[in-house]
Amino acid sequence: MKLKPVQYAKLNSRQKESYNFQKVSALLADFGFTTLHLSDDWKGADFIAKHVSGATLFVQLKSRLTINKKYSKTNPYICFPTKDRVWYMCRHNQLVKLVLKNTNVRRTISWATHGGHSQAHPRRALLPALERYRIGSDLGTLGA
């Protein structure tokens, strides 16, 4: 069988979620994580990441930077790629603080009225604050 790369844009939403899960699982494996995809959200998570140290992370997988007040109580890790396929993973409540501090999202209708906001690529002002949560830069920050 001759293999050729898939075109992400041509995948349906379910295929994109599977693709994203496989991509981030491969990245996390380099840092000692094994992942388990959940068929149903549990504790606000799409997957569980188990570290060789025994730490367990509950992770909500998104196709773009996403914050939503519904995640505030469970505070899962939010894992998302940018359109450049750079992956980030940060606790939801910390991500909310970073987004509100470094952007004007607080004044958007989506956040103020609906309690959620997403963007395909983080705003330029937000990127330096997100850098410590880029997968591959310093995963020591994940336990925070």
Q: Give me the pLDDT at residue 41, please.
A: 78
Q: Judging by DSSP bridges, how do beta strands 56-61 and 77-81 pair with one another?
A: parallel
Secondary structure of residue 62 in the 3-state scheme = coil
Residue 100 lies in a domain: yes
Which range marks the domain in which residue 102 is found? Answer: 8-137
Residue 2 lies in a domain: no
Residue 57 lies in a domain: yes
Residue 3 lies in a domain: no
Number of domains observed in the structure of the chain? 1
Residue 127 lies in a domain: yes
Residue 143 lies in a domain: no
pLDDT-derived band of residue 25, with 50, 70 and 90 as boundaries? very high
Look up the CATH number of the domain holding residue 42: 3.40.1350
Residue 124 lies in a domain: yes
Residue 138 has pLDDT above 90, yes or no: no
The overall average pLDDT reported for the chain is 91
Q: Give me the pLDDT at residue 143, please.
A: 47
pLDDT of 108-126, one tens digit each? Answer: 999 999 999 999 889 889 9
Q: Do residues 118 and 101 lie in contact, with contact meaning Cβ atoms separated by under 8 Å?
A: no
